[in-house]
Structure 1
Amino acid sequence: MKLKSSKILIVDDDPDVLVAMKMLLQPEVKELVTEKNPENLNALLTRTKFDLIILDMNFKSALNTGNEGFFWLNKIRTQDKDVLVVMITAYGDINLAIRSLKEGASDFVVKPWRNEQLIEVIAEALSKISAPTPNSSTQPISVKTEKNSTSGLNNSETSLLLGASEAMQEVFYKIDKIGPTDANVLILGENGTGKDLVARALHQKSLRSSKPFISVDLGALTETLFESELFGHRKGAFTDAREDRVGRIEAASGGTLFLDEIGNISLYQQAKLLSVLQNRHVVRLGANQMIPVDIRLICATNVPIYDLASESRFRRDLIYRINTVEIIIPPLRKRGKDIILLANHFLEKYSVKYNKSGLAFDAQSTEKLMSYNWPGNVRELQHTIERAVIMAGNAFIKAHELSFSPIENAEPVDDEPKTFQLHDIEKDTILKAIDKHQGNISKAAKELGITRTALYRRLNKYDI
């Protein structure tokens, strides 16, 4: 269905929101109705057949639980199972928005919204009425989210984003739902888990898929290169600036900007980046002209970014800017039989590359793969299988032909504490920090994010 022929209902208790949306949407649709009180939904739906409803997540009603949006969403779905519902939410309600998608909403929009983004979301939702097929020729990525199915995202370069585990199904579900929006995404996960592939999958699922995808490894940029690489420069701006150069942010305009290892940048760099994200323009080094940019931002990091924020080493306002939605990539050791699924994928790939068709894992090699901790995650598994294919001498890969990477810490990672008593966990953490820094209290305190005095108090408390 086209936007011009649609009937839309907006339900929000904020009169400013209703006025803003009415001014934006009324010229674009056939019929527009606004409503402050969700209690009137039943009467409205009985009287009029709407094509789409924009529903706020929170109302000042007697429920007062923060889950009003789910309550009214269920009411709407019960009364009219065909009507499309787009949830509108503030930053603090993103997890609720993700849950609402599972409970039947078509999409969600984050306050404050951009007008063109809101119209795109509504038009995309309405298009599903006449085109129910989830994938089109402009979206080459296929996501299967059925439980207990083998599913993945096929990237033309590496095809590594595969998985049948529940944890990966959740990742695929979020990619499928978040991808078509313009929401900023923060991807969290250990090294080697495939954060860059998730970023590319989000871009390919987006309305910007035909536009540039620009990836920047912030961990590889020095302080002096940071501004030149991201913002660009004019000829003569510094000693080696022999010609004008477009920065990565400007190059990504209209498409997606992926900032990898964002947790590693300094506070100064964070301030520079925040300014661009707030003002949506860049100024090249050596120039004064402000260049407008339109980007969808995806960031990734393997560092505990929230811990850095609590220690004043990462700006909280920047976290709010980059983290409209969060996707956590599980480590390989948490993915169960995905290990064998991925191993077989790499086995097939490298069997072709090295002209060794018909290879398979024997029982002992399969057991060895499943029992290893995989500290290097999928990246380590890939290299392990490539080495095994090279060394394989017959139809089966033997356990002794699987050699694990010496550069990874192969010690088992104990994800669960031995006790859940807070004082025991704190004491154990303090002992580990002191041991790591060989008894240096100053360094241990810095590692723990507390002062020397606070650490001494805890040493006395726990009789350490």
Structure 2
Amino acid sequence: MSQEGGKILMIDDDEDVLLAAKMLLKKQNHQVLIEKNPNKIPFLLHNDTYDVILLDMNFSKDITSGKEGFYWLEQILGHEPNAVVIMITAFGDVEMAVKALKMGATDFVLKPWQNEKLIATINTAIKLKHSYLEVDKLKKAKEMLEEQISKPFGDIIGDSPAIKDVFTIIDKVAKTDANVLILGENGTGKELIARAIHQRSLRKDKSFVSVDMGAITETLFESELFGHKKGAFTDAREDRPGRFELANGGTLFLDEIGNLSMSLQSKLLSALQSREVTRVGANQALAVDIRLICATNMPLQKMVQEGTFRQDLLYRINTVELQVPPLSERMDDIPLLAKHYLNYYSKKYHKNVSTIAQEAMDKLKRYPWPGNIRELQHAIERAVIMTDSASLQESDFLFSRSMNNMTSTNDTLNLDEVEKTAIVKALSMHGGNISKAADELGLTRASLYRRMEKYGL
């Protein structure tokens, strides 16, 4: 019996042939769908995917030339270029076989077939299909890896005691496969910490796959994380591996995990416990080997007490807990960070800006940075874009007026300044927590992010 069954579609106008093949192949653990009418092929392909398609070359309209078979072969490959199609005919010859293979058929069998030969041909074809799927998965993983490599800042910058404590923990946990929970305010660099753990781990040559859990809707959760089969839902136009599969052998980073609803927490926990995922629309579970790193700015322990976060999930994700300090606790790192971003954005925008004046640097060190490193990054980017000088000056940084007006907005009637002041105040009030600041301001998280981008916060 075949160790791993496949899904097979067989199209032939001879019902006896269809039934005989179905009985034979079902004994080999294959799932077999049979169809007499080739005109139903488009419908069948639209509604499901198959490991192997067995296609008769000659139907009732044309018994010997194979033209109908060639036509339907072309239609199948037009719909699914990686389809594995085995042509069947009782009137085969070398020329017809060569033509079918040149058109994209995988193999060619003659009726009446030998059972052992047919089984061997199909098992080989199934392995070929799986290799196509694996190549597709590797391509997508490579694209994600290249995207991650192209991120502008690939390492953590800092020399303060607070960040050195983080380095110490990274060195201790990186070489293990322990699950890590990274806690910290928004903009503190939690994803960079996760990448640093991956890059120093035994999985560093495999993929690092990052998922923003706060951006995934309830309806797309399973598709994004576990993948889906073609036709599983309206927009599922092709088989797609989920993030768990793409991270197989590597590291899966789940950011904003505190934003998951209880129902989604349950689905995530089930996958983590079983170390298996099932694509939407599929029946077979796939084993996955991942190193899990999660991050949040939310108080998960308090959420457990309030009944909004599962305690068993918290136990599963925080074998090691790592607290990332806010920028206000590592002010000694501001010159290093500011110069790093200055160099990057000067190159990016082709500007000859090479230094930051001492008065400007002092101003950066006095500011409380409620938006943390992300806010500093945006402030430097805006200053580089707007300056006409080779050195950034104190006047290139505009947040001080907002800070001075935090106790009162009556000094200005400029709507942009009033809005910016309110955002800075809300961020400061909630320690840089985007979700809470957005609630305070009556905005969605996305709307607040857009305004922060607008004002360089």
- For 1:180, the equivalent position in structure 2 comes to 175
- TM-score, normalization: structure 1? 0.54
Q: Which residue of 2 aligns with 1:386?
A: 381
Over 3 Å counting, the alpha-carbon distance change for 1:179 and 1:228 in structure 2 is same
Matches within 5 A, 1:118-137: none
For 1:73-222, list aligned pairs within 5 A: 157-159=152-154, 161-222=156-217
1:294-325 deviations in whole A, cap 9, x for unaligned? 11000011111111111010001000100010
* 1:230 correspondence with 2:230: no
Residues of 1 paired with 2:251 and 2:217: CA distance?
23
Pair 245,408 (structure 1): closer, same or farther in 2 beyond 3 Å: farther
The structure with more radius of gyration:
2
Conservation of the 8 A alpha-carbon contact between 2:356 and 2:391: yes
Match of 1:272 in 2: 267
Compute the displacement of 1:237 (Å): 1.8
Gaps of at least 5 residues in structure 1 are 1-153, 417-435, 439-464
Task: Provide the alpha-carbon RMSD of the alignment.
Answer: 2.7
Contact 2:248–2:288 (Cα < 8 Å) also in 1: yes
Partner of residue 423 from structure 2, selected from 391, 397, 409: 409
Whether 2:297 is the aligned partner of 1:302: answer yes
Task: Identify the match of residue 288 of structure 1 among 280, 283, 287.
Answer: 283
Other-structure match for 2:345: 350
Asked if the contact 2:342–2:353 (Cα under 8 Å) also holds between the matched residues in 1, the reply is: no
Q: Which residue of 2 aligns with 1:8?
A: none
- Aligned to 1:174, what secondary structure does the other structure show? helix
Mapped contact 1:200–1:213 kept (Cα < 8 A): yes
Equivalent of 2:257, from 253, 258, 262? 262
- 2:337 equivalent to 1:329: no
Query: In structure 2, the residue corresponding to 1:410 is in which secondary structure?
Result: helix
Asked whether the 8 Å contact 1:208–1:255 carries over to 2, the reply is yes
Confirm or deny: 8 A CA contact 1:375 1:409 kept in the other structure: no
Relative distance call for 1:264 and 1:250 in structure 2 (3 A) is same
Q: Per-residue deviation at 1:240?
A: 1.9
Change (3 A) 1:290 1:407: farther
State the 1:392 CA deviation: 2.4
1:5 alignment counterpart: none
Partner Cα separation in structure 2 for residue 380 and residue 235 of structure 1: 42
Give the count of matched residue pairs: 268
Q: What amino acid does structure 2 have at the position aligned with 1:191?
A: N
Q: Give the deviation of 1:362 after TM superposition.
A: 2.0
8 Å contact kept, 2:155–2:196 = no
Match of 2:21 in 1: none
1:241/1:358 CA distance change after superposition, 3 Å? closer
Question: Contact conserved, 2:353 with 2:389, CA < 8 A, in 1?
Answer: no
Query: For 1:231 and 1:290, how far apart are their aligned partners in 2?
Result: 10
Structure with the higher helix share, 1 or 2? 2
Matched residue, 2:364? 369
Identity between Structure 1 and Structure 2 (%): 58
In 1, Cα distance between the equivalents of 2:422 and 2:329? 17
TM-superposed deviation, 1:391: 2.4
Distance 1:370 1:408, change over 3 A: farther
Shift in CA distance, 360/310, structure 1 to aligned 2, threshold 3 Å: same
- Contact 1:373 1:410 (8 Å CA) reproduced: no
Decide whether aligned partners of structure 1 residues 228 and 353 sit closer, same or farther in structure 2, where only a CA change above 3 A counts.
closer
Higher relative CO (Cα under 8 Å, sequence separation at least 6) belongs to 2
SS in 1 for 2:186: coil
Output the CA distance in 2 between the equivalents of 1:382 and 1:437: 23
Unaligned stretches of 5+ residues in structure 2: 1-148, 403-419, 432-439, 443-457
SS in 1 for 2:235: coil
- CA-CA distance at 1:350 after TM superposition: 2.0
**Taking structure 2 as the reference length, what is the TM-score of the superposition?**
0.55
Letter in 1 for 2:289: D
Q: Secondary structure at the match of 1:241?
A: coil
Structure 2 Cα separation of the partners of residues 210 and 170 of structure 1 = 26
Determine helix, strand or coil for the equivalent of 1:309.
Answer: helix
Match of 1:247 among 242, 246, 251: 242
Contact 2:423 2:441 in 1 (8 A): no
Between the aligned partners of 2:349 and 2:238, the Cα distance in structure 1 is 44
Deviation at 1:327, TM superposition (A): 1.1
Q: Deviations over 1:195-240 (max 9, x none)?
A: 1111111111111111111111111111000011111112222222
